[in-house]
Every structure is written in C-alpha cells, then in structure tokens.
Amino acid sequence: MKKNGVTPKTTTTGTQKPATTVKKEETPKDVTEKLAKEAVGKTTPISIEDRMTAFDQLTGLANQRTRLKSKLEELNKFVFNNGANCEFSVKDEEGKTFKTTNNNLITLVTGILKDTLEERKTEIEAQIVKFQL
C-alpha cells in the first residue's frame, strides 16, 4: 500500500549469504621471508673436513703473502746507480734471454714490479682478514 504516495520497501531477513573468508596463498617472497626468519640464529655445524679445507686455504693465502713480502724485501735491497755493474735480464722457457744495462729502463721495470707485488700483497691480506674458518 501506498502511504503518502510512497511505496514501502520490503525487507527480507535471513536471506543473506554468510561472508566467506578468502585464504591468501603464500607467494615465493613470503616463503623466502618465512624461511629467513626461521634460519636467523641457527648455525649449521661445520664438518671437520670442511674446516680442514678452509684451514688449508687460509694457510695457502698466508704462504702467498709471505712469498710476496720476501720478494718485495729482496727487490728493495737493490741499489741502482749509474755504474756499469747494473744489469737486468729475462729468460724464457726456450732459453732466449733479454738483457739490458740501461739504468732508466731497469728502474722503470723494477718500479712496476714493486707496485704489482705490493698490490697483490694487499689483496691477499684483505682476503686473509675477511677469511672465516
């Protein structure tokens, strides 16, 4: 019936569907974060073989550093002056040799050699400092 020219709305009670919950699927990122949280604080024991291998690697690095240091000390002992007694020679595996007594060339080559040895020694020392047993 119309009351004041307006048709009343009819209401239906109890006919609404219950709300359903949607389960969110885990994304690979979620799984990774979950595993990372679980792994924090857990340390995996290192086997004796792995530890021995790491120790051998560290020993190898220490030996390389010692050799580089001794070669640098040996190279720094040389005194180059304008005397005729200074000679630089290089010999290849076929027995061919290159020799020079030019002091400028000898000074240049030994300077480059010193820089290269020093750079490599610094790299080895950095590896030793970062090394974890």
pLDDT in tens, 7-29: 666 555 555 655 555 555 666 77
Residue 43 has pLDDT above 60, yes or no: yes
- Calculate mean pLDDT across residues 58-62: 96
- Calculate mean pLDDT across residues 102-115: 91
pLDDT over 70, % of the chain: 71
CB atoms within 10 A of CB 72: 16
Quick one: how far is CA 98 from the chain centroid?
39
Which residue, 120, 114, 119, is CA-closest to 64? Answer: 120
Mean pLDDT, the chain, whole residue set:
82
The pLDDT of residue 125 is 96
With a CB cutoff of 8 Å and minimum separation 6, the contacts of 57 are 131
